[in-house]
Structure 1
Amino acid sequence: MSAGPSEPVRRDEWRVSHDEREAVVERLNTAAAEGRIDLNELDVRLGLALNAKTYADLAPLTADLPPDVPVNQEPLVLKGGMHGVTRSGRWDVPGRITVYGGMGAVKLDFTETDCRLPEIQIEAQGQMAGITIIIPDGWAAETSRMDAGLGGFKDKTTPQRLPRTPLVRLSGSGGAGGVVIRHPNSWERRKQRRLQGR
């Protein structure tokens, strides 16, 4: 008699790699150089980072630090205007994006991008027509700073984040048109498979 299906392992229980530990060490050293944490706290956090085994061990060590985005990097600004805007296919993803739905709506599709950033900050203002954000499977979103507005806000993403994928930090307001962040739907998945010749 076969055993029943085991419970899936939550992301915070996944094992971290050497590279992921080193990335946290580098970020902690940068934070200390900027005066965000003192040397005693740095020593404690570095010890915890080097001995971390899971994401649950590693994540709290940088949770109170701002995203590691260059301060001189200009954000990408997209405005729906009267006719709408879509950003899809293969495109260079910056660390910061500001999106205004306008009267025509904005669709921001990351599914074909090759993004190696640890985090992407998106400020979304739904305005009249709203905004749709599509992220690949394996990417995760942090949406606690989103305000629903009149049009509402829907987070249809799953919390599982694969290693070496960005965390999308979403803030802003749904406005009148609303904001949605989700993974590709079944039609979009079929289209992508056709384009890849599967």
Structure 2
Amino acid sequence: MTDSSRAPAPRPRRNPELRASHADREAVAERLREAAGDGRIDLEELEERLERAFAAKTYGELEPLTADLPERADVIDPRTEEPLVLKSGAGDIAQNGYWVVPRRISAICRMGNIKIDFSQAECHQREVTLEINSGMGDVTIVVPHGWAVRPHGLRLTIGEVRNKATDPPHPGAPTLEITGRAGMGDVKIRYPNRWETRKRG
């Protein structure tokens, strides 16, 4: 016998003829971007649905745009909640191949170098924060084409930031926020090179 008192109440259906607000349109757009990031819809369909969402005037025009998408999951992957800490003294560290990207990453290097390669990583985050604390070592960051990279929060002493990952980001793709400080070492941001792409293939 099922305890109906524990069953969730059905979500009330809004009158499709009522006018939608800016917040309603933006909420639908956010769900569409998340669906594209999860691979449920492709970029062409995302652009088409976003155009319809921002042009919608009623709930009846908005509802079909997300009707075939699952509700947002409340389950949190513990692999994404625990920060990844990469700490190097004089040696080098390479975080590459397949790995699950958490929300926060710390790269700490004194004289050694750290390389963080996201090109084969599994990333379900809309925004990833990378905090750098480097002395003399360099930090190299490899991101897939389509990612957005923002190194605006990085403080420099003598080192410099060389950002070659400047192509326009894809809709719904992750954003990598880079913060922290760099002493004498450099921070290098780029896409995979030919050798890395050939090796992966």
TM-score interval, normalised by the smaller of the two chains: 0.5 to 0.7
> Once the two structures are superposed, what CA deviation does each residue of 1:89-148 show, in whole Å capped at 9, x if it has no partner?
001110001111222111101110121210100011221111101111111101111223
Q: Is the 8 A contact 2:145 2:167 kept in 1?
A: no
Q: Is 2:142–2:192's contact at 8 Å kept on the other side of the alignment?
A: yes
* Match 2:30 to one of 15, 21, 26: 21
Match of 1:52 in 2: 54
Q: TM-score, normalised by structure 1?
A: 0.60
Q: Which whole-Å CA distance do the structure 2 matches of 1:17 and 1:182 have between them?
A: 32
Question: Hey, what does 1:120 align to over in structure 2?
Answer: 128
Contact 1:89 1:109 in 2 (8 A): yes
TM-score normalised to the size of structure 2? Answer: 0.59
Q: CA deviation at 1:173?
A: 1.9
Kindly provide the amino acid, as one letter, of the partner of residue 136 in structure 2.
M
Which residue identity lines up with residue 195 of structure 2 in the other structure? W
How many Å apart are 1:23 and its aligned residue? 6.8
142-151 or 126-135, larger mean C-alpha shift = 142-151
> In the TM superposition, what whole-angstrom CA distance separates every residue of 1:48-104 from its partner, at most 9, and x where no partner exists?
xx9536xxxxxxxxxxxxxxxxxx944211112221211100011100011112221
User: Quick check: 2:110–2:136 contact (8 Å CA) kept in 1?
Assistant: yes
For residue 135 of structure 1, what is the aligned residue in structure 2? 143
**Take 1:156 and 1:126, find their aligned partners in 2: how far apart are those partners?**
20
Following superposition, which runs of at least 4 residues in structure 1 exceed 4 angstroms of deviation?
Answer: 16-19
RMSD: 3.0
Q: Which has the larger radius of gyration?
A: 2
Partners of 2:96 and 2:26 in 1: CA distance: 31
Report how far residue 158 of structure 1 moved. 1.8
Deviation at 1:19, TM superposition (A): 5.8
For 1:154-165, what aligned pairs fall within 5 Å after superposition?
A: 154-165=162-173
Identity of aligned residues (%): 33
Distance 1:19 1:165 in 2: 17
Preserved CA contact (<8 Å) 1:147 1:153: no
Deviation at 1:188, TM superposition (A): 1.7
* Distance change in 2, residues 1:183/1:19 (3 Å): farther
Amino acid at match of 2:129: Q
Q: Give 1:141's aligned amino acid.
A: V
User: What SS does structure 2 have at the residue aligned with 1:52?
Assistant: helix
The answer to whether the 8 A contact 2:98-2:120 is kept is yes
- Distance apart, 1:159 and its partner CA: 3.8
Structure 2 unaligned blocks of 5 or more: 1-24, 34-51, 56-79
Measure, in 1, the Cα distance between the counterparts of 2:28 and 2:168.
Answer: 19
Asked whether the 8 Å contact 1:94–1:120 carries over to 2, the reply is yes
Contact kept, 8 Å, 1:149 with 1:178, in 2: the verdict is no
- Return 5+ residue gaps in structure 1 as ranges: 1-15, 25-49, 54-71, 194-198
Partner of 1:4: none
What is the aligned partner in structure 2 of residue 6 from structure 1? Answer: none
Q: Give the conservation status (yes or no) of the 8 Å contact 2:29–2:53.
A: no
Partner of 1:60: none
